A = this chain, B = another copy of it.
Amino acid sequence: MAGFPFTIAATDGKARTGVLATPRGEIRTPAFMPVGTAGTVKALTVDQVAATGADILLGNTYHLMLRPTAERVKRLGGLHRFMRWEKPILTDSGGFQVMSLSKISKVTEESVTFQSHIDGSRHALSPERSMEIQADLLGSDIVMQLDELVALPAPPERAADAMRRSARWGQRSKNAFGERDVQNLFGIQQGGLDPALRRESADRLREIGFDGYAIGGLAVGEGHQAMCEALDFAPAMLPVERPRYLMGVGKPIDIVEAVYRGVDMFDCVLPTRSGRHGQAWTWEGPVNLKNARFAEDDAPLDPSSDVPASRDYSKAYLHHLVKAEEILGQVLLSWHNLAFFQALMAEMRAAIAAGTMEAFRTAFAARQRPSGPGTSA
């Protein structure tokens, strides 16, 4: 497999910045992918999402296969056309949500069988079915192998079993995906926090050969420090010439530490989910707009932004909308947060190109006050 052309324009320590060139457009890395769970980045139009500078969205196979169903999306022209997003889309395999949202009936070597959290209907997800849904029915640009992951901390044997099953499912995913010109398939490294397991996983993935490599099984309860320790060794085990994607991460401080350690791609529901709950992310850390100190604060969240949500509306107005439980408050804060995450990625791309990533990282950590006044997690 060759994969989409991936050009690393500059490196700075372990950090890299470049471009992954897909037929639907360029993805500037390090990249943050907003999550369009069920065919929508929650509360936002695609034009609003595009205005934040997002180059690629993530879609959730689990949600889409249950509703409106992958077959219906296919009949309606594929996921891009269905949701009116013309730039690249990466879909996850469905495995994570099966294990976190549904009632699992059974995990076997063949597949995961589970009950829908929506209507209780029974479904099976195998590597082959995941490939069919992602690549053939939804029409994703970047397809993820099916993997099995475990919550951390996990017994070593459990982590090893899941890693080895993920590798076997990786091979089956590859076989089912085949060779494609305009779609890529990413493998997923597992192995928990154990360097030996992460090494074995990376070696297996490399033997199979993927277009890109994800780091899976982190940000599942191990905490920021343990995650950073795993990122001290995990990314370097993956092929240097292909994109590395840290799945489901995360808070801005997590993303900065991961970029510093050589990760290229990220996704997380945090900006939209926290926006729906009245929280805004800023260079000084998260703030809760419900806090009374914003009641007469006439300044916008970011007057230098190009995005109306950040630039045009005062914190006093956002405070009012949050207090009154107005939908517009959810819209504007989701929009602002996505714009902030994209601005963060742009700043890091510039810092890596300028050779100042170490200084950026130090300054960023010093400015963020995760437990300052008016904040909440």
Interface residues of chain A, those whose CB is within 8 Å of chain B, are: 38-40, 42-45, 47, 67-68, 72, 75-77, 82-84, 276, 295-296, 298, 308-309, 312-314, 316-317, 319-321, 323-324, 326-328, 330-332
- Specify which of B84, B276, B296, B321 is in contact with A72 (CB 8 Å cutoff): B296
- Given contacts A77-B298, A295-B72, A317-B83, are A331 and B324 in contact (CB under 8 A)? no
- Given contacts A47-B308, A82-B316, are A295 and B330 in contact (CB under 8 A)? no
Find out whether the CB atom of B42 lies under 8 angstroms from the CB atom of A298. no
- Give chain B nearest CB distance to A299 CB in angstroms: 11
- Given contacts A72-B295, A83-B317, A84-B312, are A330 and B328 in contact (CB under 8 A)? no
- Specify which of B42, B296, B298, B323 is in contact with A326 (CB 8 Å cutoff): B42
Find out whether the CB atom of B75 lies under 8 angstroms from the CB atom of A328. no
Chain B residues contacting A332 (CB-CB under 8 Å) are 45
Find out whether the CB atom of B39 lies under 8 angstroms from the CB atom of A331. no
Chain B residues contacting A317 (CB-CB under 8 Å) are 39, 76, 82-84
24 A-B Cβ contacts within 8 A? A39-B317, A39-B324, A42-B326, A42-B327, A43-B328, A45-B309, A45-B331, A47-B308, A68-B295, A68-B316, A68-B319, A68-B320, A76-B296, A76-B298, A76-B314, A76-B316, A76-B317, A82-B314, A82-B316, A84-B313, A276-B327, A327-B327, A327-B330, A327-B331
- Give chain B nearest CB distance to A29 CB in angstroms: 28
Chain B residues contacting A312 (CB-CB under 8 Å) are 84
Considering the chains assembled together, what is the distance between the CA atoms of A16 and B154 in angstroms?
A: 75
Closest to A84 in B: B312
Given A43-B326, A47-B308, 12 more contacts at CB 8 Å?
A39-B321, A42-B327, A43-B331, A44-B328, A45-B328, A68-B323, A76-B316, A82-B316, A84-B312, A84-B313, A84-B317, A327-B331
